[in-house]
């Protein structure tokens, strides 16, 4: 008798052997299910659908921030009673090791003891790798997912041995991130109370221990930032969504998060496309449109006031503000950056 003749999608989803094969395939099972498929060609699309669903359902679980793991470890540590020495000798050895590491941190960094304790706790709580740039050059770190981190001197990067599964890193200092795209596994940077969440993009995080401010500057892609104090199932709603050439500043004491433009906004379109941005006696609105597209910014101005301004120019790979300085000089205007927007004001042009 052939058990598979009348199999439906639900039957495959409920078949333990099938589920096990989809999640943990091996050669023997491959052979078995291939035989089933070739004996029942009509089942092939059903099996494909069942495999797709099982894979997706296997990824169905709530986000667990790494900070929850370290916080909980500290809470557990605070509550457990010391045990007789003899029975727990291995732990005592571990403790001695930790004390040694702690000593090294104090000696090496001169950091306040509290910070040291925080680091030690997480070192002992989970298998953490820590990379500290003690040199004078930028150190490039390639993570196991293919993302790279350019760590500036004196910066520290920490991540867990489970990094492959949860893309989470802890930064102290200044680093530029180029994150490999993987929509199913967002990449998180935790830095001095600010969380940066991305899918795949490049950006810089600056978070020095002694600096009251944390900044995140975005080069490409989209980035969500939010205070790590933010709670609930969607902490991002307490934060900002940043697009290229934008930056967020976070004041750690005040828990204040604000949006702005980075200091040197760069052209976002590919260089070869710049040839199209050549203007001959063109209206100002056309040029501003092009700038908005090229730099991903928003320019606010009174179209009527500047209706008669015509300009001959071209776009090159220069910093936005240099370009604006020149343009504004020509039309006798000034500009201000307000909340990541550029506001141009002036009295317009005569013929």
Partner 1 sequence: MNDSTGSFPGNNRSRMADDKQIWDAYQQKGAFAELYNFYVRDLLRYGYRISSDRQLVQDHLQDLFVHLWNHRDRLGHVQEPRFYLYKSLRNRILRSIESNRLIPTVDGVLSEEWFPDGVDAEPTWVETEHRHRELTRLQAALERLPVRQQEVIQLRYYHDFSTEEIARIMKVNEQSARNLLFRAVRQLRGQLPSAILLLLFSQPV
Total binding residues toward partner 1, as defined by CB under 8 A: 59
Using the rule CB under 8 A, give the single segment among 79-87, 109-117, 257-265, 285-293 that binds partner 1: 79-87
DSSP 3-state of 270: coil
- The verdict on 27 binding partner 1 (CB under 8 A) reads no
Terminal alpha carbon distance of the chain:
92
| In contact, 253 and 270? CB cutoff 8 Å | no
- The verdict on 46 binding partner 1 (CB under 8 A) reads no
In the bound state with partner 1, the residue whose beta carbon lies nearer, of 89 and 329, is 89
Name the minimum Å distance from CB 185 to partner 1: 9
- The verdict on 257 binding partner 1 (CB under 8 A) reads no
Angle at 93 between CA 89 and CA 97, to 5 degrees: 165
44-58 vs 27-39: helix axis angle to the nearest 10?
140
- The verdict on 293 binding partner 1 (CB under 8 A) reads no
Q: What's the rounded Cα separation, in Å, for the pair 218 and 196?
A: 11
Angle at 90 between CA 84 and CA 95, to 5 degrees: 85
- The verdict on 41 binding partner 1 (CB under 8 A) reads no
Which of 5, 17, 39, 72 contacts partner 1 by CB under 8 A?
72
- The verdict on 91 binding partner 1 (CB under 8 A) reads yes
Nearest Cα to Cα of residue 265 among 314, 219, 211: 219
Burial of 68 (0-12, 13-18, 19+ CB in 10 A): exposed
Binding site for partner 1 (CB under 8 A): 9-10, 13-14, 16, 19-20, 23-24, 26, 53-54, 56-64, 68-69, 71-73, 75-76, 79-81, 87-88, 90-91, 94, 124-127, 161-162, 164-166, 183-184, 186, 197, 199, 222, 224, 231, 233-234, 236-237, 239, 241
């Amino acid at each position: 008798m052939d058990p598979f003749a009348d199999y439906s999608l639900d039957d495959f989803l409920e078949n333990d052997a099938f589920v096990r094969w989809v999640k943990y395939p091996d050669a023997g099972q491959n052979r078995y299910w291939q035989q089933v498929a070739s004996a029942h060609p009509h089942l092939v699309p059903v099996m494909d659908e069942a495999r797709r669903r099982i894979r997706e359902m296997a990824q169905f679980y709530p986000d667990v921030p790494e900070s929850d793991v370290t916080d909980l470890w500290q809470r557990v540590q605070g509550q457990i009673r010391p045990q007789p020495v003899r029975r727990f000798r291995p732990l005592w050895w571990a403790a001695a090791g930790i004390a040694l590491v702690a000593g090294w941190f104090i000696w090496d960094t001169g950091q306040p003891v509290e910070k040291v304790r925080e680091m030690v706790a997480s070192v002992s709580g989970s298998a953490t790798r820590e990379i500290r740039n003690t040199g004078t050059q930028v150190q490039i770190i390639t993570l196991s997912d293919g993302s790279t981190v350019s760590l500036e001197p004196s910066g520290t990067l920490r991540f867990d041995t489970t990094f492959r599964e949860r893309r989470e890193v802890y930064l102290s200092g200044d680093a530029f991130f180029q994150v490999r795209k993987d929509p199913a596994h967002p990449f998180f940077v935790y830095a001095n109370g600010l969380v940066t969440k991305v899918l795949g993009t490049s950006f810089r995080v600056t978070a020095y221990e002694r600096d009251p401010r944390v900044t995140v500057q975005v080069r490409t892609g989209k980035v969500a930032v939010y205070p790590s104090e933010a709670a609930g199932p969607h902490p991002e709603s307490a934060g900002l969504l940043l697009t290229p050439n934008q930056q967020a500043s976070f004041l750690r004491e005040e828990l204040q998060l604000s949006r702005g433009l980075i200091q040197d906004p760069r052209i976002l379109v590919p260089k070869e496309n710049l040839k199209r941005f050549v203007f001959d006696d063109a209206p100002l609105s056309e040029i501003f449109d092009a700038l908005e597209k090229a730099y991903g910014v928003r320019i606010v101005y009174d179209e009527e006031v500047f209706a008669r301004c015509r300009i001959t120019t071209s776009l090159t790979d220069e910093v936005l503000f240099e370009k604006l300085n020149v343009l504004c000089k020509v039309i006798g205007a000034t500009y201000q950056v307000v909340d990541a927007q550029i506001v141009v004001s002036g009295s317009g042009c005569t013929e």
